């Protein structure tokens, strides 16, 4: 299947007819995917048989929550699962998408957030955390694999805060009344009892629990919070709190060139395209293996799709810091899609490069403050120097007489 997709991509890249076919197939895929709300157990399969099949096939999975009464699932309930990327095919071999042929709904997420196994186009949990959940899984009385007691508490706090947000029914600070008074589950009581049982001293409110997860290494990265914040006011608030403390150089942007465009010729093409769109390169740096892995975990919600999608440009390879002296205000449509976006040219250059390569070969920050955060994340020891270089470029351009073309200083 992957080979077929690659051949189609090459056909599209080299033929006008191929491009039309590719566009048509992408639209069909979007329609089909949007129509699929969740997988289901086949109607003739019991929950006990499902668990038995998963274990028999050696699937690395956990049933994430509300598993206490398994194999019984209450009427109208569903099953939430996390699965290893390499074992997602096992779930596909058992479950069905068809409401007519299916019974109990199953929400299935993979460690890295594979296509149709993602949550809002990102991993459900930070991939490192998700992998640890699988590795530390224990067996429930039903035979199902479930999180360890400690992981269950922290994963449920994560779910309440960052998937549910104010919909969890938790108070933001323990003083203000919850914004939702009738949530689907009583997280206030459930988390309080779990914390007491495991000796975790924490107030059960959103601010205190968020601080606890940050201390324990469970808090989402900025990129993940940004994605989650599209329909979660709490995550949007956390995102803005992080960014307000970031230094801001107007017009600053950070572009991540991915492995599929890591050759010298392709990197040069990307940089020329950036300059064509009005960006001036301030600094470019090839990432070593350790930096690549760190950037992959911390940026883009941990989801780079390198194992699963022919459209993926692979992992991070090079970080390019650039500055646009004349940013353009994004349209309302773009702002709805990318709430942090502060320069339309960022979206334009990514769109043009993706159409040229038929792959997502570049990733970027959405705003000047987020660009500074990217630098601090990927190359903290060099951030101050790069920001100062960008400020010098900006000051030089602003002080130059109108009509004079400045020579690049770096």
Supply the pLDDT for residue 409: 36
Examine residue 219 and say whether the peptide bond preceding it is cis (omega within 30 degrees of 0): no
Mean of the per-residue pLDDT values of the chain:
88
Neighbours of 161 (CB within 10 A): 27
Residue 149 CA neighbour count, 13 Å, CB half: 8
**Exposed, middle or buried: residue 38 (CB in 10 Å: 0-12, 13-18, 19+)?**
middle
Q: Is the pLDDT of residue 235 over 50?
A: yes
Residue spans per domain, the chain: 1-33, 36-147, 148-245, 252-399
143-188 pLDDT, tens digit each: 999 999 999 999 999 999 999 999 999 999 989 899 988 888 999 9
Candidate CATH numbers 2.60.34.10, 3.40.190.10, 3.40.50.20, 3.30.70.141; the one for domain 252-399: 3.30.70.141
pTM of the entire predicted model:
0.82
pLDDT band at 76 (very low <50, low <70, confident <90, very high): confident
258-292 pLDDT, tens digit each: 998 889 999 999 999 999 999 999 999 999 999 99
Give the span between the Cα atoms of 143 and 180, in whole angstroms: 35
24-71 pLDDT, tens digit each: 665 554 434 433 457 999 999 999 999 999 999 999 999 999 999 999
Report the percent of the chain where pLDDT is more than 90. Answer: 68
DSSP structure class, residue 380? G
Residue pair 88/117 in contact by the 8 Å Cβ criterion = yes
Supply the pLDDT for residue 405: 43
Give the span between the Cα atoms of 230 and 236, in whole angstroms: 7
Closest CA to 374 of 311, 291, 304, 307: 291
């Amino acid at each position: 299947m992957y080979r077929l997709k690659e051949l189609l991509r090459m056909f599209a890249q080299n033929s006008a007819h191929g491009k039309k076919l590719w566009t048509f197939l992408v639209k069909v895929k979007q329609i089909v995917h949007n129509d699929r709300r969740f997988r289901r157990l086949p109607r003739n399969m019991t929950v006990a048989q499902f668990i038995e099949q998963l274990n028999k096939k050696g699937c690395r999975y956990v049933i994430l929550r509300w598993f206490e009464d398994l194999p019984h699932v209450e009427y109208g309930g569903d099953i939430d699962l996390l699965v290893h990327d390499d074992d997602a095919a096992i779930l596909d071999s058992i479950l069905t998408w068809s409401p007519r042929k299916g019974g109990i709904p199953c929400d299935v997420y993979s460690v890295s957030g594979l296509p149709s196994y993602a949550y809002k186009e990102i991993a459900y949990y930070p991939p490192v955390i998700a992998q640890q959940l699988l590795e530390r899984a224990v067996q429930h009385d039903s035979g199902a694999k479930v999180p360890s007691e400690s992981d269950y508490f922290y994963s449920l706090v994560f779910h309440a805060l960052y998937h549910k947000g104010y919909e969890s029914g938790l108070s933001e600070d323990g003083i203000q009344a919850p914004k939702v008074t009738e949530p689907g589950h009583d997280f206030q009581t459930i988390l309080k009892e779990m914390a007491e049982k495991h000796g975790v001293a924490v107030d059960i409110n959103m601010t205190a629990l968020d601080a606890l997860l940050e201390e324990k290494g469970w808090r989402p990265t900025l990129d993940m919070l940004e994605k989650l914040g599209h329909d979660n006011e709490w995550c949007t608030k956390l995102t803005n709190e992080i960014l307000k403390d970031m230094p801001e150089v107007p017009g600053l942007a950070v572009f991540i060139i991915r492995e599929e465009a890591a050759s010298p010729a392709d990197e040069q093409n990307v940089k020329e395209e950036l300059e064509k769109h009005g960006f001036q390169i301030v600094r470019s740096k090839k990432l070593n293996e350790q930096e690549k892995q760190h950037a992959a975990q911390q940026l883009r919600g941990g989801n780079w799709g390198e194992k699963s999608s022919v459209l993926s440009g692979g992992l991070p390879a090079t970080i390019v810091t650039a500055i646009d002296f004349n940013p353009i205000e994004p349209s309302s449509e773009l702002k709805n899609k990318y709430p942090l976006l502060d320069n339309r040219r960022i979206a334009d250059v990514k769109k043009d490069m993706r159409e040229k390569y038929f792959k997502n070969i570049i990733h970027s920050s959405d705003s000047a403050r987020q660009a500074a955060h990217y630098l601090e994340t990927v190359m903290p020891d060099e951030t101050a120097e790069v920001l100062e270089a960008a400020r010098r470029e900006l000051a030089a351009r602003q002080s130059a007489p109108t009509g004079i073309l400045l020579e690049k200083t770096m």
